[in-house]
Structure 1
Amino acid sequence: MTGAMDLVFIGLTLSSSWGNGHATTYRALLRALDAQGHRVTFLERDVPWYASSRDLEEPDYCRLRYYESVDELRRSYRRNIAQADAVIVGSYVPEGPAVIDAVADIADGQFCFYDIDTPVTLAKLESGECEYLAPPQIPLFDIYFSFTGGPTLTRLKRQYRARRAEALYCAVDPDRYAPTGEPPKWDLGYLGTYSPDRQPTLERLLIEPARQMPERRFVVAGPQYPTSIRWPENVERIEHLPPAQHASFYSRQRYTLNVTRADMIAAGWSPSVRLFEAAACGTPVISDAWAGLESLFGGDIHVTTRSDDVVRILSNEEDIVGRRLGSGARERVLARHTAQHRARELVGYLASPVEARTRKAEKESAGTAA
């Protein structure tokens, strides 16, 4: 389609990057959409956890508004939702099923879902414990945008009757993630919120190498790690790292570690935003293994499941291979995985406003005739 669109996102959070990867994903995407001439409103549930830790108050690339209940969302933002060319509800939105039902009743344009947690969502749907999406709601969406590509898209259509499922991977803002030129401070680092299913890999690929290499320096940044974890003395802990400091953090590492959640490893084709951010900074990445990783990064990444491999990589003082991998991964990200690429993909998937409203009018007319 051509021309500017009016887009409404209803997501977990844009205002706070504390303890989640949603905010940085939305920030990059929405900034790119604005730069491409689209008008964007982001609606966020006003909850104490994020309200007390906001690091983005008034973005200059979208209208950020808060609501305190589904009733307020319906009452205060009915006009925004009804007149939008597309409304996109995200995963993990509080009271998600009620929000989806409310939007489905109001929206006249495209109605979509953006799942930034697709493998987790599918596991929750299987167990009947998904608090932000009900299986019967999936066919309501014109497009189900998925953080995960590959076979998962077919599963969404066949098992859950998604009308259309498209991969919309996370991405990176190249204006905010680039090499800073700072000298290395750590030999290996990791950025991520604590997760029980990721912790064994973090133990194996960072904590154990740290024990074996007491002369080397390591760092783990992210909240919610239990006090029971016994960190080696050469592992620095950073409780929270604001997005504005990410590029500096990655640039000061010789290597950075990517650790993937178990559900996402099982599904494959689920690159995290941290993976793209680190690569954009030119930092060579050591990652656990999952299907689709090499199709995204080719040979420009170290893939391993063994502590000994990490020790061997870090023992190489010259880092010739590391610099080559970091440079190659950065080139791949800039060529395919920036927020500008994702914004163009998103808009390209959406039908024009006229097509969307015509289709809805035809559907309502058919229902009345029946």
Structure 2
Amino acid sequence: MKIAFYGSSLLSSYWNGAATYYRGILRELAGRGHDIRFYEPDAFDRQQHRDIDPPDWARVTVYPATVQGLASVMDEAADADVVVKASGVGVFDDDLIAGVMQRARPDALRIFWDVDAAATLDEMRADPAHAVRAMLPQIDLVLTYGGGDPVVSAYRAMGARECIPVYNALDPDTHFPVAPDPRFACDLAFLGNRLPDREARVEEYFLKPAALLPDRSFLVGGNGWESKAMPANVRHRGHVYTAEHNAFNCTPLAVLNVARDSMAQIGFSPATRVFEAAGAAACLITDAWEGIEMFLTPDEEVLVARDGQDVADHLAALTPERARQIGQAARARTMLEHSYALRGAQVDAILKRYGGQAAFHQPRMARA
């Protein structure tokens, strides 16, 4: 199938945590014979901080972040068998979802792919005129980055015809164990951009343990933290490119995952970083969220913390040998059950199932 995918960026992870998710799934779909066309705006300096060159498995179009630039790519939706609008493109999101779905062929499969479903649902509950909510009757299928049954039920209640979670995963060709790098040497490292709906949790789960353990070393990577007051034992690294993720994960004694507020509240939403760290056989400490057992077993494959004190306790008790055991167990589980090869197979089956149902493209009232 020819897939027109409108997303934030395939080429850059700069202020764009979904990049490796898109790459992992779309590369697998290309390997299964699908023709991938990815459209991303030239916005937020992402093109100046590319992680990869345009891949041979997708045709990537970078368009100006202007009204004219948007118009130049929306018409290409009419040539696709599958039209995908992802959440969080960052510019002209409302115009983009309406424009590409209305331009799609009558027999094309229309998909909204939500990489922050809990937040999108909160916005739709607060605004009955929300652009995504208004377009749901014209959208065939909602795919989500995670969220489990709570997100599926909520989307159906909002009027979605169908909603299916497609979870983050590991690409073992890009994330794997490497030798330690002294640039990332520390006891606990956290990688994530500074965002309003994450900052308070980072203060609790990362900065509080740093204050409680002044003799231990901490490292934060990601954009926006340079102006944040931190304990003296915390170093700030700035943006960490995808090519550096393996060393970032392999070098510290442990790495920390901190969910954004909405994802922590709804659960069943492991961040990309969880699988990247597991793929590198890192010892992962994560804040507690419902559904973690679906992905990694607490105390065997991951350490789970209810608050900053728990993080400090885990770190104080952690030995290099114990950290290696946890990391190796996490890698084995992830390689077996949470690879992008499996996610790609899942999406391929979804496309064949729903794209092949002629009745699925009929108006909603006719399908009732």
TM over 0.5: yes
**Paired residues for 1:289-300 under 5 Å:** 289-299=288-298, 300=301
Aligned to 2:325: 324
**Paired residues for 1:189-228 under 5 Å:** 189-225=189-225, 227=227
Q: Say whether the 8 Å CA contact 1:157–1:165 is kept in structure 2.
A: yes
Name the amino acid aligned to 2:305: T
Cα deviation 1:346-365 (Å, max 9, x = unaligned): 111113697356754x659x
Tell me which of 92, 95, 100 is aligned to 1:98: 95
Q: CA deviation at 1:144?
A: 0.1
Distance 1:357 1:72, change over 3 A: farther
Q: CA deviation at 1:235?
A: 1.3
Cα deviation 1:111-169 (Å, max 9, x = unaligned): 101100101111122222997x43121222111001122221011102x1100000011
CA distance in 1, matches of 2:167, 2:54: 26
Moved more, 244-253 or 212-221: 212-221
Q: CA deviation at 1:70?
A: 5.7
CA distance in 1, matches of 2:174, 2:57: 15
Q: Say whether the 8 Å CA contact 2:259–2:287 is kept in structure 1.
A: yes
Aligned to 2:343: 342
Name the amino acid aligned to 2:349: G
Distance 1:193 1:35, change over 3 A: same
Name the amino acid aligned to 1:285: L
Look up the SS of the partner of 1:179 in the other structure: coil
Aligned to 2:154: 155
Distance 1:70 1:102, change over 3 A: farther
Aligned to 2:57: 61
Q: Say whether the 8 Å CA contact 2:5–2:36 is kept in structure 1.
A: yes
Q: CA deviation at 1:274?
A: 0.8
Distance 1:139 1:212, change over 3 A: same
Q: Say whether the 8 Å CA contact 1:70–1:99 is kept in structure 2.
A: no
Distance 1:226 1:253, change over 3 A: closer
Look up the SS of the partner of 1:194 in the other structure: coil
Alignment partner of 1:24 is 2:14: no
Aligned to 2:252: 253
Q: Percent identity?
A: 31
Aligned to 1:181: 179
Structure 1: stretches of 5+ with no match in the other structure: none
Normalised by the size of structure 2, how large is the TM-score?
Answer: 0.88
Distance 1:128 1:331, change over 3 A: same
Aligned to 2:33: 37
Q: CA deviation at 1:330?
A: 1.3
Distance 1:317 1:57, change over 3 A: closer
CA distance in 1, matches of 2:116, 2:262: 9
Alignment partner of 1:115 is 2:114: yes
Q: Say whether the 8 Å CA contact 1:222–1:239 is kept in structure 2.
A: yes
CA distance in 1, matches of 2:231, 2:309: 17
Distance 1:303 1:129, change over 3 A: farther
Structure 2: stretches of 5+ with no match in the other structure: none
Cα deviation 1:248-270 (Å, max 9, x = unaligned): 11000111111011111111111
Q: CA deviation at 1:54?
A: 3.2
Look up the SS of the partner of 1:44 in the other structure: strand
Q: CA deviation at 1:296?
A: 1.8
CA distance in 1, matches of 2:240, 2:352: 38
Q: CA deviation at 1:66?
A: 2.4
Look up the SS of the partner of 2:56 in the other structure: coil
Aligned to 1:236: 235
Q: Say whether the 8 Å CA contact 1:70–1:98 is kept in structure 2.
A: no
Distance 1:130 1:209, change over 3 A: farther
CA distance in 1, matches of 2:212, 2:97: 50
CA distance in 1, matches of 2:297, 2:318: 24
Name the amino acid aligned to 1:215: D
Look up the SS of the partner of 1:171 in the other structure: coil
Q: CA deviation at 1:286?
A: 0.9
Q: CA deviation at 1:71?
A: 5.7
Distance 1:213 1:61, change over 3 A: same
Distance 1:55 1:178, change over 3 A: closer
Distance 1:189 1:142, change over 3 A: same
